[in-house]
């Protein structure tokens, strides 16, 4: 839930299918629509991830960026982490803080499951679970 309140993406009025974000107990924590809109479990919009990688809060204020190489930056363009092609998530010091598996399972650095985000880009799932604590 923590991450969903801080992330933002493109808004749209057209019907967009949402992928469910689950916590470690498999309870619904929120949703990410294919257009990048992030919703909490009550379907209230909490943020957006735009097509260009800009991360916005629910008021469309920029709070960060996802770069094409997997670097995650805050609003000041300071690096807060990295998402490697294999799904390994690192902090700004390159220490592993977790993993996003190909099936959408999200694990902490000890490989304990902390949630699921099936059908969501690895970078989006990493931002939601590790950097913005939604």
> What single string gives the DSSP state of each residue in the chain?
-TTTTT------SS---EEEEEETTS-EEEEEETTSEEEETT--EEEEE-TTSEEEETT--EEEEE-TTSEEEETTS-EEEEE-TTSEEEETTS-EEEEE-TTSEEEETTS-EEEE-TTS-HHHHHIIIIIS--
The pLDDT of residue 36 is 92
pLDDT number for residue 2: 39
pLDDT value for 130: 80
Q: What are the residue boundaries of the structural domains of the chain, listed by start?
A: 18-131
pLDDT of the residue at 17: 72
What is the chain's pLDDT, residue by residue, as a tens digit (134 residues)?
A: 333 333 333 333 334 578 999 999 999 999 999 899 999 999 999 999 999 999 999 999 999 999 999 999 999 999 999 999 999 999 999 999 999 999 999 999 999 999 999 888 999 999 888 865 65
What confidence score (pLDDT) does residue 110 get?
97
């Amino acid at each position: 839930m923590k991450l969903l309140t801080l992330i933002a993406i493109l808004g749209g009025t057209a019907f967009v299918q949402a992928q469910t974000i689950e916590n470690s107990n498999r309870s619904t924590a929120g949703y990410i629509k294919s257009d990048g809109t992030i919703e909490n479990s009550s379907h209230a919009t909490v943020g957006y991830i735009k097509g260009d990688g800009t991360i916005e809060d629910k008021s469309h204020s920029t709070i960060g960026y996802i770069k094409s190489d997997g670097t995650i930056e805050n609003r000041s363009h300071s690096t807060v982490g990295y998402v490697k092609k294999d799904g390994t998530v690192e902090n700004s010091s390159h220490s592993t803080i977790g993993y996003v598996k190909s099936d959408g399972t999200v694990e902490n650095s000890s490989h304990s499951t902390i949630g699921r985000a099936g059908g969501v880009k690895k970078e989006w799932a990493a931002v939601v679970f590790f950097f913005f604590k939604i």
